[in-house]
Structure 1
Amino acid sequence: MFKSSMGLGLVAIAAWGILLIKLWLFGQLYLLIHPNYIGLTIGAGIVLLGLSSYKTWELLKSSQSIAQAKQKFSQMQHSNLLPSRLSSGLLLAAAIIGLVITPKPFASDAAMHRGVGDQLGAIRTVQQSFRASNRPEERSLIEWIRTLNVYPEPDAYTGQKVKVTGFAVHPPDLPDQYMLISRFVITCCAADVYPVSLPVKLNQNRSNYPVDRWFDISGTMVTENLNGRRQLTIQPTTITAIAEPKNPYDY
């Protein structure tokens, strides 16, 4: 009974190590965690694999009695809140699900659910220092939003050049000649991502720019009245469909 519990725990630890390394090798960690923590995550995966390998070797080669082994293993239990077999089984099941399911980036439905059009004035505090680019056309989408958060008067930016990349969102409360160009910002992990966006004034129906399709948009800034508010809006000169970036998040 004890050996099977310990064996299940070791398999669960190894499975989590394999999962973390697999996500790194397949370039999927960027979808789940901020780049600042990728090195730590890779290190954790290596440690888990090393720990499971060592403990498996120790279990197979050790000549100590079952009673001694049980005492030693109980000291390394992470938690006694759940029976060891149940907790190990849950950890193993979660790791298997992670190995089977391919992570996908958040899209327009998540952006709408998380209030994609209401980020101005409510944008989360970012830990790193922020300095807007001196050239407006070099600002990323998140840099435009942070600039607006510092000084939210849209007329101050009217006529400035803009070049941003993001995916299309079609809010139902905007006319058909408008869409949002959006991106998600990740501060730690996928659980805390939030959307940022700017309205785009189109010269045709937005149905020509499908939801979730990625676009590179160049143009100038104008001020538009949308939903009773004056909002900084992109007047595009070119809209180019592009492939979804390998790393779709901003920081």
Structure 2
Amino acid sequence: MLRRLIARWQGIVLALIGIVATVWLALTDQLSLYIHPGTSWFAIVMALIGAVLVIAAFALTPLEDDHQVASDASQPGPAVHLHEHDPTAPRSVGSGTIRAALAAAIIVGASLALLVLPPATLTSAAAAQRSINSETSTLDQDATALVGGDTSSFTVKDWAVLLGQSPDADFFAGRSIDLVGFVSSSPDDPDNVFYVTRFVVTHCAIDAQPVGVPVYLPGWAERFEPDQWVTASGAIVPNPGSSSAEPLLLTPDEISVTDQPEQPYVY
């Protein structure tokens, strides 16, 4: 009986876990770690609708009797009730128990992952897998609109877009750049270059794309670790001879470790 209940309700229980997790993340201001803030209201509304449907499912779905009715299709006659304890009833030895155990493990695992483990941002490992600055040309950002703008409000995304669209060093001459992001190693010259990195989220964390400004700092790994958040300021100059494929690099005047901002992603 227990394994039948688990098998029947596992989908509903998993849905309930997702609903509770969504509402909890919204109440703790952490939902933006997974979806764009502009669509948070939609996720919350859908979670509330889902909660109503789950309650209705619990209230309206009848419990199935613990027996089944079978009849001989080849001969007419009265139906025969086959109970689980009936030796003539077909049984699946062990398979039902295994399925029930797997369902219980899924439910427990999902509960731990969604409700117990603390929410975490995407890391430098994800940035390396998705290739930093590989999608800057597709970002919903017009580089020409940034030219002449107030650079004090520019994010890593803005500077990365400008670097991708304006590789001429003269454009950056005399400009002071201030950045906040996490450290990601350069795939071309990890000894001398790292990226001050942020993730750009369009809809949710699944479609997040890493963008970054390359920093020329030989021996940087002795001072900083991947995924550490840093503030950096300096000037953009032509590549001074690094094996990095980046034509322009930031040479920092100041750089220091900082705390992860309340909103780690940019939009």
TM bin, normalised by shorter chain, reads 0.7 to 0.9
Deviation at 1:17, TM superposition (A): 1.3
Give CA deviations for 1:73-115 in whole Å, capped at 9, x if unaligned. Answer: xxxxxxxxxxxx99xx598567424234333111122212222
What is the alpha-carbon distance in structure 1 between the residues aligned to residue 214 and residue 141 of structure 2? 26
TM-score between both structures, scaled by the size of structure 1:
0.74
Deviation at 1:143, TM superposition (A): 0.5
Partner of 2:150: 135
Partner of 2:197: 182
Which of 25, 35, 38 is equivalent to 1:36? 38
Give CA deviations for 1:103-160 in whole Å, capped at 9, x if unaligned. Answer: 31111222122222xx26x425234666326133431110012223333323321331
What is the alpha-carbon distance in structure 1 between the residues aligned to residue 25 and residue 54 of structure 2? 19
What is the alpha-carbon distance in structure 2 between the residues aligned to residue 31 and residue 169 of structure 1? 19
Give CA deviations for 1:34-83 in whole Å, capped at 9, x if unaligned. Answer: 112111111111111122223434458xxxx98xxxxxxxxxxxxxxxxx
What is the alpha-carbon distance in structure 2 between the residues aligned to residue 222 and residue 123 of structure 1? 20
Deviation at 1:178, TM superposition (A): 2.9
Counterpart amino acid of 1:24?
A: A
What is the alpha-carbon distance in structure 1 between the residues aligned to residue 22 and residue 196 of structure 2? 32
Query: 2:115 aligned with 1:102, yes or no?
Result: no
Which of 143, 154, 159 is equivalent to 2:174? 159
What is the alpha-carbon distance in structure 1 between the residues aligned to residue 223 and residue 238 of structure 2? 23
Counterpart amino acid of 2:136?
A: I
What is the alpha-carbon distance in structure 2 between the residues aligned to residue 180 and residue 18 of structure 1? 37
Are the structure 2 counterparts of residues 243 and 112 from structure 1 closer, same or farther at C-alpha, using a change threshold of 3 Å?
Answer: same
Aligned partners of 1:181 and 1:200 also within 8 Å = yes
Partner of 1:45: 47
Are the structure 2 counterparts of residues 153 and 15 from structure 1 closer, same or farther at C-alpha, using a change threshold of 3 Å?
Answer: same
What is the alpha-carbon distance in structure 1 between the residues aligned to residue 246 and residue 206 of structure 2? 31
Give CA deviations for 1:181-202 in whole Å, capped at 9, x if unaligned. Answer: 1111111111111211112123
Counterpart amino acid of 2:51?
A: L
What is the alpha-carbon distance in structure 2 between the residues aligned to residue 47 and residue 95 of structure 1? 21
Give CA deviations for 1:209-244 in whole Å, capped at 9, x if unaligned. Answer: 222111111222222144364622222222132111
Secondary structure of the structure 2 residue equivalent to 1:12: helix
Partner of 1:19: 21
What is the alpha-carbon distance in structure 2 between the residues aligned to residue 56 and residue 216 of structure 1? 52
What is the alpha-carbon distance in structure 1 between the residues aligned to residue 57 and residue 151 of structure 2? 56
Query: 2:251 aligned with 1:244, yes or no?
Result: no
Identical aligned residues as a percent: 26
Aligned partners of 2:188 and 2:245 also within 8 Å = no
Aligned-residue Cα RMSD (Å) equals: 3.2
TM-score between both structures, scaled by the size of structure 2:
0.70
Query: 2:231 aligned with 1:216, yes or no?
Result: yes
Query: 2:235 aligned with 1:235, yes or no?
Result: no
Give CA deviations for 1:160-191 in whole Å, capped at 9, x if unaligned. Answer: 11011001122353263432211111111111
Are the structure 2 counterparts of residues 92 and 154 from structure 1 closer, same or farther at C-alpha, using a change threshold of 3 Å?
Answer: farther
Are the structure 2 counterparts of residues 99 and 219 from structure 1 closer, same or farther at C-alpha, using a change threshold of 3 Å?
Answer: same
Structure 2 spans left out of the alignment, 5+ residues = 65-98
What is the alpha-carbon distance in structure 2 between the residues aligned to residue 223 and residue 33 of structure 1? 37
Partner of 1:147: 162
